[in-house]
Amino acid sequence: MSNDQEHVSDSGRRDFLKGALAAGSVAASLGAAGTPLAAAQTLQPGMVPGTKNHYYVPASDKTVHWGYFSKSLKPVVQVNSGDFVTIEVLTHHANDDAERMIKGDPGAESVFHWDKQRKGVDRRGAGPMKPTLFGRGAGEGLGVHICTGPVHVRGAEPGDILEVRIIDVRPRPGANPRHKGKSFGSNAAAWWGFHYKELLTDPKPREVITIYEVDTAGEKNWAKAVYNFRWTPQTDPFGVVHKIIDYPGVPVDHRTVQENHGVLKNVRIPIRPHFGVLGLAPSEADIVDSIPPNYVGGNIDDWRIGKGATMYYPVAVPGALLSAGDSHATQGDSELCGTAIECSLTGTFQVIVRKRDTLAGTALQGLNYPLLETQDEWVLHGFSYANYLKELGPKAQSEIYSKSSVDLAMKDAFRKMRDFLMTTKGLTEDEAISLMSVAVDFGITQVVDGNWGVHAIIRKSIFAGG
């Protein structure tokens, strides 16, 4: 895919103005209570005025890469270890209901812009720019998530660990005055879902979008469904017909679908705001599909990666190159139908470089996978293939989709937890294995992302005893 490299590092993502932001715009964007707003003025990344180490990266056509990670991407901002960065993340499903999720929001409008002449962001996915494989569009939709970034962290080198503390996560308020004070998300029961070949009722198969409403005032800790509709063939502005959801960001023409209001009546979905995608650029390939999670994180789709949690990632390339995407209002373990409540969010992160030579005897020693720490727990992420890019060879990015297995992910999670207990806690293998059987909970993270996931949870209090 070397012929795509020119595009990956194209000029559109280079021209950010570091620290050149007008004071008023970011102050407004943070709001009185610190709530980031999708302010019209804030389309350039830079330092938050009045701070020395807090950067702000709005989501715009200039600050996102859509559907892939790449070590060749130009960073949108460069920060030091210990700095804070607030990152706006847009859901790639916003065009399922542009009225509620895009209209009036300059950042979202710049990203989703698509008319007969041009797209705000042309490449969507890691496929060829000329869509010679499937004819879906540039990048072929081989990767779907709108990722904001990457953030270059100075001093981060391969072999180090990047610690990412999630300081805050907030919903992005809808900009359309008709839906003031609300935010919306989309759940797509799509062809890549676990259920798709198992449908009971007609028509079979079918894809269904459910639009959910999320309170942005923080008074209600639940989401509720607004309506659903069956996906019908959608013709994009370039004239390509999308019979199924095969390319991200296709605008849904609501004159062609039947909205069913009143679905999931009286059902309150507890919210668990988090980032489905948070991770670093891998070193193994120049451009990598954003869908399968991997050793550097990415699309882990663990709802525990939310406010108050800390992630640790092995750094694979200089500067680490952190990106965030696939924001979710909530998700269940397994993400069964293929997506969560896909909902734009803004996160504030502190990034800290843990140098390789300082890790001995810590929980980070030898860490070669994305590790989650919460106040009470360690959560280890296993996948069908711990590093599928390395393990599956040159065709890894297509083969991973035919090799998905919870059984394999369970085995990987077991191995990682054993290593963690032996390395970090100094247990013998026999102690570690007994402890895993009596005190570690293994759950199914997701069964829809090619490289399926099983997470292993151990409570910290287990080790607090005397």
Interface residues with a copy of itself (CB under 8 A) are 187, 189, 193-195, 198-201, 208, 210, 212, 222-225, 228, 263-264, 266-270, 330-341, 405-407, 410-411, 414-415, 418, 427-431, 433-444, 447, 454, 459, 461-466
What minimum distance in Å lies between the beta carbon of 340 and a copy of itself?
6
Rank residues 1 and 264 by Cβ distance to a copy of itself and give the closer one. 264
Rank residues 68 and 212 by Cβ distance to a copy of itself and give the closer one. 212
Rank residues 18 and 182 by Cβ distance to a copy of itself and give the closer one. 182
Rank residues 75 and 185 by Cβ distance to a copy of itself and give the closer one. 185
Rank residues 315 and 417 by Cβ distance to a copy of itself and give the closer one. 417
Burial of 60 (0-12, 13-18, 19+ CB in 10 A): buried
What minimum distance in Å lies between the beta carbon of 266 and a copy of itself?
5
What minimum distance in Å lies between the beta carbon of 102 and a copy of itself?
21
What minimum distance in Å lies between the beta carbon of 262 and a copy of itself?
10
What minimum distance in Å lies between the beta carbon of 254 and a copy of itself?
18
Rank residues 74 and 304 by Cβ distance to a copy of itself and give the closer one. 304
Rank residues 324 and 410 by Cβ distance to a copy of itself and give the closer one. 410
What minimum distance in Å lies between the beta carbon of 366 and a copy of itself?
13
Rank residues 355 and 415 by Cβ distance to a copy of itself and give the closer one. 415
What minimum distance in Å lies between the beta carbon of 325 and a copy of itself?
18
3-state secondary structure labels for all residues of the chain:
CHHHHHHHCCHHHCCCCCCCCCHHHHHHHHCCCCCCCCCCCCCCCEECCCCCCEEEECCCCCCEEECEECCCCCCCEEECCCCEEEEEECCCCHHHHHHHHCCCCHHHHHHHCECCCCECCCCCCCCCCCCCCCCCCCCCCCCCCEEEEEEEECCCCCCCEEEEEEEEEEECCCCCHHHCCEEEEEEEECCCCCCHHHCCCCCCCCCEEEEEEEECCCCCCEEEEEEEEECCCEECCCCCEECCCCCCCCCCCCCCCCCEECCCCCCCEECCCEEEEEEECCCCCCCEECCCCECCEEECCCCCCECCCEEEEECCCCCCCEEEEEEEEECCCECCCCCCEECCEEEEEEEEEECHHHCCCCCCCCCCCCEEECCCEEEEEEECCCCHHHHCHHHHHHHHHHCCCHHHHHHHHHHHHHHHHHHHCCCCHHHHHHHHHHHCEEEEEECCCCCCEEEEEEEHHHHCCC
Instruction: Give the sign of the dihedral formed by CA 386, CA 392, CA 394, CA 399.
Output: negative
Rank residues 105 and 412 by Cβ distance to a copy of itself and give the closer one. 412
**Cβ partners under 8 Å of residue 85, min gap 6:** 54, 55, 56, 57, 77, 79, 151, 348, 349, 350, 351
Rank residues 195 and 390 by Cβ distance to a copy of itself and give the closer one. 195
Distance CA 161, CA 353 (A): 6
What minimum distance in Å lies between the beta carbon of 214 and a copy of itself?
11
What minimum distance in Å lies between the beta carbon of 211 and a copy of itself?
10
What minimum distance in Å lies between the beta carbon of 459 and a copy of itself?
7
Strands 274-280 and 322-330: what pairing? antiparallel
Rank residues 180 and 220 by Cβ distance to a copy of itself and give the closer one. 220
Tokens encoding 447: 């069964």
What minimum distance in Å lies between the beta carbon of 311 and a copy of itself?
20
Tokens encoding 225: 């469904």
Distance CA 312, CA 219 (A): 31
Rank residues 300 and 317 by Cβ distance to a copy of itself and give the closer one. 300
What minimum distance in Å lies between the beta carbon of 288 and a copy of itself?
25
